[in-house]
């Protein structure tokens, strides 16, 4: 009888946890020497997992506030929803933007768009690197697609602000410049981390995101 009584509450708990930590499409050590295994393990299984867990908790509280018509609580939960929701969105993109078979330059339509909007791949790489280096504190450097203008744009977002939700740009390539993304290996020298990360950029994934964004 006691076990039967637990079924409903546990079922409710499971149903609330709708966001889950995505599996990486490669091993934690697969991006070495550019990003070491310890960083990847902590970044994915600790940092990203925390955003996912907190997002589920915040969404449940928000759901309860909506049910009660408690607008004050709904408003007070917005910062946590933005931070943890953005952290989940951003990292889910970030992992797919990286690959042990990455690096080099993109091909096809994405390369043509980069040349059109930035003059050359070298100019694009220099600009995105500069924007990412220049993020004050924690945040992200992004290559996004402006659907209204039909062109690529570079942008920076603070903390875990999601690109599309804060700028309207569709995210194609995100570079995490929070210290937890590089400090264990590169200490406080963010430019060295940014120089290294270009060796593992998954251009096939970025190109696929670009093709989808234009539809």
Binding-site entries for Mn(2+): 43, 91, 176, 180
Q: Please tell me the distance from the alpha carbon of residue 7 to that of residue 115, in angstroms, as a whole number.
A: 58
Helices within the chain (DSSP H only): 2-16, 37-42, 49-68, 71-76, 78-96, 108-118, 121-133, 163-167, 183-186, 190-197, 203-213
Q: What are phi and psi of 17, to 5 degrees?
A: -80, 70
- CA 153 to chain centroid, in Å, comes to 17
As a whole number of Å, the end-to-end CA separation of the chain is: 55
- Six token digits for residue 21: 């930590």
Q: Please tell me the distance from the alpha carbon of residue 127 to that of residue 107, in angstroms, as a whole number.
A: 19
- CB atoms closer than 10 angstroms to residue 44: 18
The residue among 119, 116, 110, 117 whose CA lies nearest residue 214 is 110
- Six token digits for residue 195: 């120089």
Burial, 114: exposed, middle or buried (Cβ in 10 Å; 0-12, 13-18, 19+)?
buried
Binding positions: 43, 91, 176, 180
Q: Please tell me the distance from the alpha carbon of residue 33 to that of residue 117, in angstroms, as a whole number.
A: 32
């Amino acid at each position: 009888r006691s076990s039967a009584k637990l079924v409903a509450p546990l079922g409710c708990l499971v149903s609330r946890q709708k966001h889950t930590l995505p599996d990486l499409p490669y091993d934690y050590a697969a991006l070495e020497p550019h990003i070491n295994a310890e960083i990847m393990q902590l970044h994915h299984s600790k940092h990203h997992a925390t955003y996912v867990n907190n997002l589920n908790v915040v969404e449940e509280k928000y759901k309860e506030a909506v049910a009660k018509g408690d607008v004050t609580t709904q408003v007070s939960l917005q910062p946590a929803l933005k931070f943890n929701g953005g952290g989940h969105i951003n990292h889910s993109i970030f992992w797919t933007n990286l690959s042990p078979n990455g690096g080099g330059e993109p091909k096809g339509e994405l390369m043509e768009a980069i040349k059109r909007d930035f003059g050359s791949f070298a100019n694009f790489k220099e600009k995105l690197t500069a924007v990412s280096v220049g993020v004050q504190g924690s945040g992200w450097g992004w290559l996004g697609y402006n659907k209204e203008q039909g062109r690529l744009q570079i942008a920076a977002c603070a903390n875990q602000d999601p690109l599309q939700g804060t700028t309207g740009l569709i995210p194609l390539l995100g570079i995490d410049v929070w210290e937890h993304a590089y400090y264990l290996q590169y200490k406080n020298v963010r430019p060295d981390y940014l120089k290294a990360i270009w060796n593992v950029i998954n251009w096939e994934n970025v190109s696929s995101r670009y093709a989808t964004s234009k539809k």
